[in-house]
């Protein structure tokens, strides 16, 4: 009876060192710091790695180098395209620094955020990236005890104990209101997502409150989804006195309102102007294309990646950095005196 062949043993670090005629420490340097290895030695080790089909495990590399080379990002959800764009840019730039990314979602729950942050630290994260400035005592205690490099995103606050790299949410909302004000709109509905545990929304609402607007602002809270926007569209259509403009603090909600208005044959901008905040890719191809405040989330991802990588390697925390938002005017807004009645 023919015996099955013995399965080939996976090559390890010692096998590579023996084949290349070097020490295990030299192989480790080739894997982790190839720039410091002499060219001929580097080539011998790389040839041995190729011949043996050696694939280093993350655990082995961590043991030998003292580094895991990954960071963790905690975001409220992956359902919102704003976070997807940020994470794509973040991961792309981290790879330039030979760092990997692990993403955890928090459901905008501060307790879940603290638990998942601890899990990331426990498995060896070298740094953390979090959304917003509001966090639980357990989270702050974890960062303080571990001295974990941690950067706050989607918010600019130079007074925060942790470095913030993001935009001024209050100023971003004011850009939208300024645009509607300049067009002569005086009765504006402000539509926003839940304010509970969302300091970005609270900051945007505070910015609107501080703006010297002489008209009337009426707020509507809904879930951040297309359905949430459609629900508000239904509410607005049933009002005795309808607003002449809508300011949405999220493009996701704004697009839902647009769809809801289309179902009710309410014309934007001829009957009502609309402006959003985010400038999602879909906003430029909606019907009509949505005027929106552009939040520099891709730029934010790149800046955060560079700053965190430098902090990890040089033990130097970054300075807070404000990234500028700006308004992109499209066809969803119109001068108030040119609206059809």
Give 104's strand partners.
74
- Give the separation between CA 264 and CA 253, rounded to whole angstroms: 17
Instruction: Give residue-wise pLDDT tens across range 3-53.
Output: 555 556 778 888 999 999 999 889 888 887 888 899 999 999 999 999 988
Average pLDDT score, the chain:
92
Please tell me if the domain spanning 13-65 has the same topology as the one spanning 169-295+327-338. no
pLDDT reading at 197 higher than 90: no
pLDDT exceeds 70 at position 327: yes
With 80 as the cut, is the pLDDT of residue 299 above it? yes
Confidence check: pLDDT of 259 > 90: yes
CB atoms within 10 A of CB 39: 7
For residue 57, pLDDT beyond 90? no
Q: Lowest mean pLDDT: which of 3-12, 36-45, 91-100, 241-250?
A: 3-12
Does position 123 have pLDDT exceeding 80, yes or no?
Answer: yes
- Check: CB of residue 273 under 8 Å from CB of residue 246: yes
Q: How far apart are the first and last CA of the chain?
A: 92
Domain topology for 70-168+297-324: Rossmann fold (3.40.50)
Per 3-state DSSP, the chain is made up of helix, strand and coil in percentages (nearest 5) of: 45, 15, 40
- Ranges of each domain in the chain: 13-65, 70-168+297-324, 169-295+327-338
Q: Which long-range contacts (CB under 8 A, 24 or more apart) does 145-154 make?
A: 146/121, 148/121, 149/308, 149/311, 149/312, 149/317, 151/127, 151/304, 151/307, 151/308, 151/311, 151/318, 153/86, 153/129, 153/300, 153/304, 154/86, 154/200, 154/297, 154/300
Q: Residue 32 has what pLDDT? A: 77
Range in 23-37, 132-146, 175-189, 297-311 with the lowest mean pLDDT: 23-37
> Is CATH 3.90.1570.30 correct for 169-295+327-338?
no
pLDDT higher than threshold 80 for residue 133: yes
Q: Say which residues have a Cβ less than 8 Å from residue 75's Cβ, sequence separation at least 6.
A: 83, 86, 87, 103, 104, 105, 106, 131
Segment 44-54, tens digit of pLDDT: 999 999 998 88
Query: For domain 13-65, is the CATH number 2.40.30.10?
Result: no
């Amino acid at each position: 009876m023919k015996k099955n062949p013995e399965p080939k043993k996976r090559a390890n670090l010692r096998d590579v060192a023996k084949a290349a005629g070097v020490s295990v420490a030299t192989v480790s340097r080739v894997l982790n710091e190839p720039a410091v290895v002499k060219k001929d030695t580097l080539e011998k080790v790389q040839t041995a790695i190729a011949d043996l089909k050696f694939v280093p495990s993350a655990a082995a590399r961590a043991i030998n180098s003292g580094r895991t080379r990954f960071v963790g990002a905690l975001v409220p959800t992956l359902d919102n395209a704003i976070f997807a764009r940020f994470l794509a840019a973040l991961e792309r730039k981290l790879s330039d620094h030979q760092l990997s990314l692990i993403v955890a979602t928090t459901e905008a729950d501060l307790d879940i955020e603290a638990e998942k942050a601890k899990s990331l630290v426990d498995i060896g994260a070298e740094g953390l990236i979090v959304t917003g400035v509001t966090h639980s005592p357990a989270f702050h205690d974890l960062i303080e005890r571990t001295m974990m490099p941690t950067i706050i995103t989607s918010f600019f606050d130079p007074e925060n104990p942790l470095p913030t790299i993001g935009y001024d949410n209050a100023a971003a909302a004011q850009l939208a209101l300024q645009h509607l004000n300049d067009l002569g709109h005086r009765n504006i509905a402000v539509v926003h997502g839940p304010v509970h545990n969302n300091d970005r929304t609270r900051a945007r609402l505070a910015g609107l409150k501080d703006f010297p607007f002489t008209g009337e602002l009426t707020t509507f809270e809904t879930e951040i989804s297309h359905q949430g926007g459609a629900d508000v569209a239904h509410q607005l259509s049933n009002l005795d006195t309808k607003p002449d403009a809508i300011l949405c603090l999220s493009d996701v909600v704004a697009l839902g309102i647009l769809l809801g208005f289309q179902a009710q044959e309410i014309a934007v901008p001829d009957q009502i102007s609309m402006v959003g905040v985010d400038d999602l890719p879909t906003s430029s191809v909606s019907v009509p294309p949505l005027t929106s405040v552009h939040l520099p989330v891709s730029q934010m991802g790149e800046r955060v990646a560079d700053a965190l990588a430098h902090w990890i390697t040089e033990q130097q925390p970054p300075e807070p950095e404000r990234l500028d938002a700006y308004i992109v005017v499209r066809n969803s807004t119109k001068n108030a005196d040119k609206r059809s009645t």
